Amino acid sequence: MTVVIGYTDTPEGLAAARAATAEAQLRGTGVVLLESAGTGTPAEELSLILAEAAQAGVSAERQTLPQDADLGDALIDASYQPGVELVVIGVRRRSPVGKLFLGSTSQRVILEAGCAVQAVKVRVGPRG
């Protein structure tokens, strides 16, 4: 069984990677990190994510998508693969106008995936 991570070089992507690693550890599975090509993710950050997974006893595989590939489509496709039991994505709050003009990859993945999807927010401090 596998947990698939939709990774982008953002705080939301990092939160998703950490949440997916924790889920994989609980489930006794590995993780596959799907990354968009050209995200400019620093090698140190990805090394840290993979090292955290290894330290947790979770096998981790990194797959970089082709330059023209859509991460949302790749996650939906992966969700239908045998053995994939969870897709983890990072989400951020967007205005209604922002959703209208940019669409919502997260929403599309949640609605079209063939397995469970865990949406992860970046933890912020208490409101005051």
Which CATH number does the domain housing residue 90 bear?
Answer: 3.40.50.620
For residue 11, is it within any domain?
Answer: yes
For residue 106, is it within any domain?
Answer: yes
In 1-128, alpha helices (H): 11-27, 43-55, 71-79, 96-102, 105-112
For residue 112, is it within any domain?
Answer: yes
Does residue 120 register a pLDDT over 80?
Answer: yes
Distance between CA atoms of residues 83 and 96, nearest Å: 36
pTM of the model: 0.85
Contact (CB, 8 A) for 24 and 58: yes
For residue 125, is it within any domain?
Answer: no
For residue 13, is it within any domain?
Answer: yes
Give mean pLDDT, residues 26-47: 80
For residue 126, is it within any domain?
Answer: no
Residue 99: which domain range? 2-120
Per-residue confidence (pLDDT) for residue 128, from 0 to 100: 47
For residue 27, what are the contacts with CB-CB under 8 A and spacing of at least 6? Answer: 1, 3, 85, 86
For residue 95, what are the contacts with CB-CB under 8 A and spacing of at least 6? Answer: none
Per-residue confidence (pLDDT) for residue 13, from 0 to 100: 86
Does residue 125 register a pLDDT over 90?
Answer: no
Contact (CB, 8 A) for 9 and 44: no
Give mean pLDDT, residues 72-87: 96
Distance between CA atoms of residues 119 and 92, nearest Å: 10
For residue 21, is it within any domain?
Answer: yes
For residue 62, is it within any domain?
Answer: yes
What is the number of domains present in the chain?
A: 1
Per-residue confidence (pLDDT) for residue 45, from 0 to 100: 78
